[in-house]
Amino acid sequence: MSAENLSQQDERIRAESLATKLMKKPELGAIGGVVLVTLFFLATADSAMFTLSGIMNFMTPAAQLGILGIAAAMLMIGGEFDLSIGSMVAFAGMVFGVFTVNLGLPLIFAIPLTMAFAALIGALNGAIVLRTGLPSFIVTLAGLFILRGASLVGLKLFTGGSTQLRGVRDAVEGDFLAPLFSGDAFTGLFGWLASIGVIDSFKSGAPKVPGIPVEILWFVVIALVATYILVRTPVGNWVFATGGDTNAAKNSGVPVRGVKISLFMLTACAASLVAIITVIDAGSTDARRGFMKEFEAIITAVIGGCLLTGGYGSAIGAFFGAIIFGMVTIGLTYTDFDQDWFQIFLGGMLLLAVVFNNVIRKRVTGER
């Protein structure tokens, strides 16, 4: 039998068209969404939105949400949800504030301890899900209320009755680790670019954009590392296998229990990172920090191509999904539209993303 006839009979060795390869990419919808949203704002928004300053304005909230969204995407690929991630931002912010302000710990101790505290709670979430067999949706929904309540109670306890803990900026001022989690990076480069006229500057000569906010760098690095892990390492294969078919993964020797618990720890640590960055920038922490971020993170992951059933998705898709969020959140301020349209957009994007991903998956897999 000729190779041509064999390829016609066995689809496993049949050459795929470029369109088919593209449709198999989970991030296709998110990339298309970025293009459409960009075209929309190019047509309706003030031109200032796409200056360097405007781009930094919408990339900053996108980065904070994206750090959460990438972790949520990896957990969803593994077949689970974490609805406590937003409350964890508030709780970790409180823990970090207590370590730095009340106990006076330097960042070299405060940051690892905060991360460890969050990771422990993430591991507990995972252990409860695996031990009881309850849906992670229910377990972490309970965690959402518990952590939010613990943040309120803890802040009142450590501040003498207030739900806000101040003094963080003063407590970490001068710490050698502070620039890694607060402020702008590459300030010298941006100052030089302003001096030679490459970027806009004030009359004093200072650049209008002093540098790249550090959360954007964290966002990019986390997206690259997560993508590498998912597509280039055995751990990534374990994550996809665990979310695709847990029983088959177990029978194949995949450490399903360890994978799931590690992913819950990852989402908790991502929330802690966002808490540390935002608390240092604001100089204080409060009980409402991270409010509703759990839903936005999951929506970001879905827009990025993750299926609610697990086993499918990408970190880079969540990266672009977060950029869409940032563009719309800030972009509406550059237009004449009422900013309350954002809520309508949020629901619409979620619905469209789910429908689009479902249609593409069925076309690729041949399901009916």
Please identify every stretch of the chain with a pLDDT value under 50, giving residue numbers as ranges: 1-2, 6-7, 10, 12
How open is the CA angle 155-161-166, to the nearest 5 degrees? 55
Residues 6+ apart with CB under 8 A from 344: none
Encoding tokens for residue 120?
């422990």
CA distance 129 to 256: 12
C-alpha separations of 76 from 41, 64, 68, 126, 314 in Å? 31, 19, 12, 13, 10
For the chain, the three-class secondary structure string (H helix, E strand, C coil) is: CCHHHHHHHCHHHCCCCHHHHHHCCCCHHHHHHHHHHHHHHHHHCCHHHHCHHHHHHHHHHHHHHHHHHHHHHHHHHCCCCCCCHHHHHHHHHHHHHHHHHHCCCCHHHHHHHHHHHHHHHHHHHHHHHHHHCCCHHHHHHHHHHHHHHHHHHHHHHHHCCCCEEECHHHHHCCCCCHHHHCCEECHHHHHHHHHCCCCCECCCCCECCCCEEHHHHHHHHHHHHHHHHHHHCHHHHHHHHHHHCHHHHHHCCCCHHHHHHHHHHHHHHHHHHHHHHHHHHHCEEECCCCCCHHHHHHHHHHHCCCCCCCCCCCHHHHHHHHHHHHHHHHHHHHCCCCCCHHHHHHHHHHHHHHHHHHHHHHHHHCCC
- Give residue 16's pLDDT: 59
What is the number of residues in the chain?
368
Distance CA 306, CA 39 (A): 24
Distances in Å between the Cα of 145 and the Cα atoms of 7, 136, 149, 152 are 56, 14, 6, 11
Q: How far apart are CA 368 and CA 357, in angstroms?
A: 14
pLDDT confidence of residue 15? 58
Mean pLDDT of the chain: 89
Q: What are phi and psi of 287, to 5 degrees?
A: -75, -15
For residues 324 and 331, what is the distance between their CA atoms, to the nearest angstrom? 10
Distance of alpha carbon 114 from alpha carbon 64, whole angstroms: 18
pLDDT on residue 172? 95
pLDDT, tens digit, 9 for 90 and up, residues 108-145: 999 999 999 999 999 999 999 999 999 999 999 999 99
Is the entire prediction scored with pTM above 0.85?
A: yes
**Nearest alpha carbon to residue 211 among 197, 224, 193:** 193
Q: What CATH number belongs to 49-365?
A: 1.10.3470
Domain boundaries, the chain: 49-365
Give dist(CA 141, CA 151) in Å, integer.
16
What residues pair up with 213 in beta bridges, in sequence order? 184
172: left (phi over 0), alpha (psi -120 to 50) or beta: alpha
How far is the C-alpha of 46 from the C-alpha of 192, rounded, in Å? 28
> Are 55 and 213 spatial neighbours (Cβ–Cβ below 8 Å)?
no
